[in-house]
Amino acid sequence: MNKQPTREKLLDITFDEVYIHGYSATSVDTILKKAGIPKGSMYHYFKGKKALVLTMVEERLFPKMDLFFNFEKEEEVSVTDALRKTFAAMSRNRPLVTYGCPLYRLMVELSPVDSEFDAMLSAKVTQMQKKAAALLLSGIESGEFSDTLDPEAFAAYLLNSTWGVLSLSPTLSSPRKFIQHSKFILETLKQY
């Protein structure tokens, strides 16, 4: 049996706990209990809760964001089809649709109160918006969209509106509602 290394186990459990309960409601004791390790083992890898969560953001959350918000397209695929594929994959991700975007949730909770988290999370949002804008620009360059489309503004709209629909409470959120939202974005994009 291949045991998961302690550091990796801590990061995975921290991601789950912070994602579901938020930073403030997540305790180191809960993480350690779920990991089945003594407190001293955590401090071998991380100075404390904040260092653990910052590392989790970098090593777990950001890669997940790149998967959730995949703004890459294959060579012969239209931008619209690439976005449709991304939205379809997002709608099948039950935790994402149920609990919302983990990046957005952390930003809401921590950006107003911690400048280090704010800088880190805001930089990722900027990166994501630039990737979405580059994808939309490629659609303009290929003739899929007219040059009246402002790629930066539409990229911000795409991310912000998606976060809005994903931030609904679990009782108001569903894959069906998310698919309706994504169809609306794609219909809006057709205007260009």
118: tokens are 């704010």
d(CA 159, CA 143): 23
CATH number of 69-192: 1.10.357.10
Domain residue spans of the chain: 1-60, 69-192
Confidence (pTM): 0.88
Domain 1-60 has CATH 1.10.10.60: yes
d(CA 79, CA 6): 41
Averages of pLDDT over runs of 10 residues in the chain (192 residues) are 78 95 95 91 92 97 91 88 92 86 92 96 95 96 96 96 85 86 94 94
In this prediction, residue 1 carries a pLDDT of: 44
In this prediction, residue 100 carries a pLDDT of: 85
The string of DSSP codes covering 24-76 is TT--HHHHHHHHT--HHHHHHH-SSHHHHHHHHIIIIIHHHHHHHT-----TT
Give me the phi and psi of 165, to 5 degrees please: -70, -30
In this prediction, residue 3 carries a pLDDT of: 64
Fold matches, 1-60 and 69-192: no
d(CA 35, CA 42): 10
Range 26-62 burial, b when 16+ CB lie within 10 A, else e: bebeebbeebebeeeebeeebeebeebbbbbbeebbb
Summarised one tens digit per residue, pLDDT across range 9-65 is 999 999 999 999 999 999 999 999 999 998 888 889 999 999 999 999 999 999 999
